[in-house]
């Protein structure tokens, strides 16, 4: 059973307890806020220029102060007391991390909401989805690299073609080659108004202009 949250020690003279914002130091509140934002201990350490072990120690201290059984409960208690913000203002955060999901599974097991078999199945599923997402990200990056390489090849071919037509026009002094160059210029100018072809159009016109200057 979860122990009741103690907002702060009572005054030795029976006075009112300290305000909520004094339960945790500013440093500990920073750590708890980053944990609420979905950061791992390693990433929190990087943000605050601390070692991962230091962050682990501070998280343990936070849980003791807030009478929390685990990280997720510490975040929930901290939010309830107004020490941190969840999903509001500058502290919006995305989907839960793998670490957060594992913590929730372990917590459900301890409270008897999940059996060991169910917990292990959930952990396997979480790991599978995390691996699949990483694979999808890699595949998307590879596809993007292939597309960029193809576009560069097309732009290079267009520039070479422009050089060839310009050379033909210069050698013949007009005629069909000059007419072909005119058509290329018109086409490149139209490309400049098409987002997918804008860079190719700019490159072709630049090449033609440079050749004229030469």
pLDDT score, position 96: 66
**Tens-digit pLDDT profile for the chain (214 aa)?**
334 434 344 333 333 334 444 678 888 999 999 998 888 899 999 888 999 999 999 999 999 999 888 888 898 888 888 888 876 444 444 566 777 788 888 888 888 888 888 888 888 888 888 888 777 778 877 887 787 777 778 777 777 777 777 676 666 655 566 677 777 888 888 887 887 777 887 887 777 776 554 4
pLDDT score, position 61: 93
18: number of Cβ within 10 Å: 13
Q: What angle do CA 152, 155, 160 make, to 5 degrees?
A: 125
pLDDT score, position 170: 66
Cα 82 from Cα 169, distance rounded (Å): 76
199: number of Cβ within 10 Å: 16
Cα 38 from Cα 90, distance rounded (Å): 14
pLDDT score, position 62: 93
pLDDT score, position 44: 92
Cα 143 from Cα 24, distance rounded (Å): 48
pLDDT score, position 105: 84
Determine phi and psi for 149, rounding to 5 degrees.
-65, -40
pLDDT score, position 87: 60
Cα 190 from Cα 118, distance rounded (Å): 61
pLDDT score, position 31: 93
């Amino acid at each position: 059973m979860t122990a009741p949250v103690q907002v702060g020690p009572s005054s030795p003279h029976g006075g009112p307890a300290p305000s909520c914002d004094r339960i945790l130091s500013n440093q500990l509140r920073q750590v708890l806020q980053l944990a609420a934002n979905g950061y791992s201990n390693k990433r929190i350490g990087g943000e605050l220029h601390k070692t991962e072990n230091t962050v682990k120690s501070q998280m343990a201290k936070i849980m003791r102060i807030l009478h929390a059984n685990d990280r997720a409960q510490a975040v929930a208690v901290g939010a309830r007391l107004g020490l941190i913000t969840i999903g509001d203002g500058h502290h919006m955060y995305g989907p839960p991390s793998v670490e957060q999901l594992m913590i929730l599974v372990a917590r459900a097991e301890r409270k008897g909401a999940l059996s060991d078999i169910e917990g292990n199945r959930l952990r396997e599923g979480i790991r599978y989805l995390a691996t699949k997402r990483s694979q999808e990200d890699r595949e998307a990056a590879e596809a993007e690299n292939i597309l960029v390489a193809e576009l560069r090849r097309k732009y290079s071919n267009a520039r070479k073609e422009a050089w060839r037509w310009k050379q033909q026009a210069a050698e013949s002094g007009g005629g069909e080659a000059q007419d072909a160059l005119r058509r290329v210029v018109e086409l490149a100018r139209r490309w400049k108004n098409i987002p997918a072809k804008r860079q190719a159009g700019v490159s072709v016109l630049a090449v033609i202009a440079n050749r004229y200057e030469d």
